[in-house]
Amino acid sequence: MKFLSKFQRRAFPTKSKKIAIIRLGAVASLSVVMVLSGCSLPDFNSKNPDASEEKEASGQSETIAGPLLKQQAGEGDANSYGSVQVFDGCSVIPIKTLTDLGLNYTEQSTVTAAYLAESVPPDRAIERATPFDGVGKCIYNFGEDLVAVDVLQPPFNEERELESRMGRPERQGAELRTEQGMQVAVWQDEEEPVKWQFIIGKQDLVIDGYTKLEQSKYGKRTPEQVANAIAKQAMANISKEPIAPIQHQYDAPYDDVPDPCEVVSAEAFQQSYGEPASGYVEATYYAGDAEFKPDKGPMISRTETSCRRSNLVPSGSIGDGYQSVKVDFTIYREDEWGKYGDWPCDPKGSASSLTQPIALDMKVGDGAVCLTSTGTGNKSLNFRVGKTAVEMTNWQTQDAADPQQLAQKLEPLAQSIAENLK
């Protein structure tokens, strides 16, 4: 498996002179590739039987086949928003449900989970007017196949948003039926037949599901049968009491990787942004091991996670006063490979013409510290702790106008992250 860091989605070395762009969307799907001239990448399709021996002799890594990311049931009670215990999207539809139905979970899969990492007390539980986010969200990108579920509950979501979601089947020509005391609809997209949607509603709860099923058969099941089975399992899980958010953990050799949103703690967010974190986080996990070729060095392996935290405002990310930070973690498989995580700050690196690194006289972690351009008018703070490279991106692009002021704003959070990674 091969995936690219956020920087490499903008540029990575190859013999080709062609230029394109890679962007990672909400469901972690790749669109186009940006390539700059430089040193060559290996032939990943080579069938040379001596390839493994050559890699071993040169210090290069062998990637590990199969997914290393696992899910485990959360510990303790469900988190609350105000006085309401909330459902966790990945617990409503876990990976096992999908693999039991024949979907192919591989090392190239990604999982994105948005959930309440901490309970929000009643005096801070404001109603959110944004239609974009439920109180729990889970997105599984299995390559060709994709499954997403959105959990909506008041007071996090307005009642009118729940009503709007429940009205969508009728607007799209589908029918709601009553089953197990819940309203449910499963229907096929008229314009894109590989897409199936489902809605489940009961008192003060809506489950809004979306699937993209590219195969004609999943074992003996048709896509329609798979979509209905996913909806049925979701109904079974919400018929029980809410449980704590599902935990995502890696098997060896990444079993020491902490959860990204525990590293980016609520306390650390408040230190940099001067107000409490919302408790609502968004984490992304790459399922497996991936190859990476640094400018100077052998082919090595790594995985990636990320976490986004924000403050709590009524209109979410579209509201005044919204502040947010996204932190990307690149974890190299071996400790000795960690030094390659300093490459974003290399002023002579192959990506430097795009990232335009600005060295900072700041001690964070174990390597170089710098600001780099994101290509969108923003700048990211980069540093490394051991074998983990960290990239922090602030939501407000206007803060990037003064690099030193931006660095000072993010430093308390960066220092806390560095301490949590030790």
Which pLDDT does position 75 carry in this prediction?
A: 84
Q: How far apart are CA 314 and CA 135, in angstroms?
A: 13
> What are the structure tokens assigned to 18, written together?
């062609």
Mind listing the pLDDT tens digit of every residue in the chain (422 residues)?
Answer: 444 444 344 333 333 322 222 223 333 332 322 222 223 223 323 333 344 444 444 455 677 889 999 999 988 899 999 999 999 999 999 999 999 999 999 999 999 999 999 999 998 887 765 556 899 999 999 999 999 999 999 999 999 999 999 999 999 999 999 999 999 999 999 999 999 999 999 999 999 999 999 999 999 999 999 999 999 999 999 999 999 999 999 999 999 999 999 999 999 899 888 888 989 999 999 999 999 888 888 899 999 999 999 988 776 655 667 888 999 999 999 999 999 899 999 998 888 888 899 999 999 999 999 999 887 778 899 999 999 999 999 877 677 788 889 999 999 999 999 999 98
Peptide bond into 276 cis (omega under 30): no
Which pLDDT does position 125 carry in this prediction?
A: 85
Which pLDDT does position 15 carry in this prediction?
A: 30
Which pLDDT does position 99 carry in this prediction?
A: 97
Residues 255, 267: contact at Cβ < 8 Å? no
Q: C-alpha angle 145/149/151, rounded to 5°? A: 175
Which pLDDT does position 22 carry in this prediction?
A: 28
Q: In sequence order, which residues have a C-beta less than 8 Å from that of residue 354 and are 6 or more positions away?
A: 10, 11, 36, 373, 375
Which pLDDT does position 60 carry in this prediction?
A: 57
Q: How far apart are CA 300 and CA 178, in angstroms?
A: 53
Q: Taking the domains of the chain in order of start, what are their residue ranges?
A: 72-122+133-238, 252-421
Cα–Cα nearest to 323, from 278, 376, 377, 378:
278
Residues 96, 72: contact at Cβ < 8 Å? no
Which pLDDT does position 25 carry in this prediction?
A: 34
Q: How far apart are CA 127 and CA 155, in angstroms?
A: 5
Q: How far apart are CA 137 and CA 119, in angstroms?
A: 16
CATH number for the domain formed by residue range(s) 72-122+133-238: 3.40.1000
Residues 74, 246: contact at Cβ < 8 Å? yes
Q: How far apart are CA 47 and CA 133, in angstroms?
A: 46
Q: C-alpha angle 172/137/373, rounded to 5°? A: 110
